[in-house]
Amino acid sequence: MEAAVSGPAAEGAARTGAATIAEAFRITSAERAQEIAIRTKDDAFTITWGELRERADALAGGLHGLGLRRGDTLALMIGNRPEFHLCDIAAMMVGAAPFSIYSTYTAEQIAYLVGDAEARILICEQQFLDRVLEARASLPNLEHVIVIDGEAPEGTLALSAVEGAGPEFDVEASVAQLRSTDVLTLIYTSGTTGPPKGVQLIHRNLIAACEGLEELIEFPRDGRVISWLPSAHIAERNAHHYLPIVYGLQITCCEDPRQVLSYLPEVRPSWFFAVPRIWEKLKAGLETMLASQPDEQRANVEQALQAAIRKVRLEQAGEEVPAELAEQVQRADEEIFAGLRTMLGLDQVEAINVGAAPTPVEVLEFFHAIGLPLAELWGMSETCGAGTVNPPGKIRIGTVGPPAPGVEIKLDTDGEVLIRSDVVMPGYRNLPEKTAESFTEDGFLRTGDIGEFDEEGYLKIVDRKKELIISAAGKNMSPANIEATLKTASPLIGQACCIGDARAYNTALIVLDADFVPAWAAKEGIEEASFEALAGDERVRAAVAEGVEAANAKLAKVEQVKKFSIVPSDWLAGGDELTPTMKLKRKPIAEKYASTIESMYAR
């Protein structure tokens, strides 16, 4: 077992002064009563921290009147809108544990989660009500369904009717009774290997996670974030809900996640976190825009980028940057890159991060080159999304950083990453055996990720332990790394699934990028733009083949993709192939596309 690497909380770390997130909300809402807490685009809706406290307290009284008590759970099926924050905080004031359901879930999946959580109250949007009511038919213990918008049909309640219905409820006394070990929320895993498991996160977990992030990033007094990820995902809850509660960051709600990049120029966030695909698309969009410039201007930009990338690579290698190169990049930053950052709306960020999947080195280098030091981080639902993070100013490209403050990490004999910290969950709901299996005797969580440390103590994630490909010749490979290389090699490739376990060579299922391919096809004179038609078009296949060859040039021979098939449909989050958090469902994919896969191995 590799020696433990520890990242203890530094002296002077930013402390909240609160033992629970509920207490932190009382502190923040009192200190910042007149400041905007939550808003929507163009200030169509705004609410101050003081107003939010008043409404949350009124709703807490109404929920208490419906029977909600400390230790209970409450289900939420609400998108990225102010009502999510209101309802979640109100339940928290009662001492209950609100949890979120992905908007893509079927009635059967909704019923499973609500039943497992033993929730007696569910709050949802009108657009999800049909599925919720269908699920309710198999949930005899679900006593109340509350609708936040539109008219509440018979058998349900309107949020407006609940809010203010329990004026006698003593919120301050309720919050005072809470303990740091009380369950704050449940995060249900995406279920790639079976039914979702309910990760129980307690107040102490999220307080520790918030303090660790603040110590690294040092959010400004007027810090801003955009709420755009699903609230059922720990990254959304931590970054855009709990962190703002603890440190008073202003939240802008983005209901349509596909529009998040258009929110950046208005919000100018202090911190922006996104999955690799967002950064890949942003890079491709900027390159397309720059390529459309007049020849002389385009040549200047290309030279500036090449120089800046050379500088980034020298810095990453620990080598001296020649004065002439440094001066050239400084001029380029003032004349070109600063304008790009302002145009994007990322000119006021304290930190930008990427996680949840491997990010191609070329993408990271590109953003560093234009003055946006994109940093990888790593975490899980079981660790509040926290674990390791590249600290601002000390980023090592190709790693997910050293352990975050207060986190201990070591590697097991097989390379599995083990983590111990206050950010680690106490266990899974209703699954004592799974919980026991997940921890070592000395209290480290088994993450299921394979990793390695570099000479500076920065962690590199190889892949999921159960997803490593072992070829017929016994070679171990990371499918996630191969897939990331494929996606960055061509803007036509939206998704890729590498096949090769126990096979003589690797193949891939490739899904066309729904945003880029139609425009590309029109430019190429291809009239039929359906996925099925494009997947079968030889011009599309030839272009994708070029991308695969470009990816293979960056891969070891054993990792290279020898054959590929273009899937004649899109893969959507929460569908047959992807989890709601965009992770590949490898087993269902293998079953659904079995004949296609076998055809790539036929002689």
Task: State residue 585's pLDDT score.
Answer: 85
Task: State residue 191's pLDDT score.
Answer: 58
For residues 501 and 559, membership in a common domain is answered with yes
Q: Which of 416, 447, 465 marks a domain boundary? A: 465
- Which CATH number does the domain housing residue 82 bear? 3.40.50.12780
For residues 75 and 136, membership in a common domain is answered with yes
Q: In what order do the strands lie in the sheet with 506-512?
A: 493-499, 506-512, 561-566
For residues 33 and 47, membership in a common domain is answered with yes
For residues 233 and 313, membership in a common domain is answered with no
Instruction: Specify the DSSP element, H or E, that contains 309.
Output: helix 295-316
Which residues of the chain are under the pLDDT cut of 70? 1-16, 190-194, 581, 603
For residues 439 and 476, membership in a common domain is answered with no
Q: Which of 229, 245, 270 marks a domain boundary? A: 270
Instruction: Compute the distance between CA of residue 350 and CA of residue 369 in angstroms, rounded to an integer.
Output: 17
Counting the structural domains of the chain, the total is 3
Q: What is the pTM of this model?
A: 0.85
Instruction: Compute the distance between CA of residue 187 and CA of residue 203 in angstroms, rounded to an integer.
Output: 13
Task: State residue 5's pLDDT score.
Answer: 52
Nearest to 408, CA basis, from 392, 396, 424: 424
Instruction: Compute the distance between CA of residue 470 and CA of residue 192 in angstroms, rounded to an integer.
Output: 20
Calculate Rg over the CA atoms of the chain: 25
Instruction: Compute the distance between CA of residue 100 and CA of residue 85 in angstroms, rounded to an integer.
Output: 11
For residues 140 and 252, membership in a common domain is answered with yes
Task: State residue 192's pLDDT score.
Answer: 56
Q: Residue 354's domain spans which residues?
A: 276-347+350-465
Task: State residue 527's pLDDT score.
Answer: 81
Instruction: Specify the DSSP element, H or E, that contains 400.
Output: none
For residues 593 and 475, membership in a common domain is answered with yes
For residues 370 and 478, membership in a common domain is answered with no
For residues 75 and 147, membership in a common domain is answered with yes
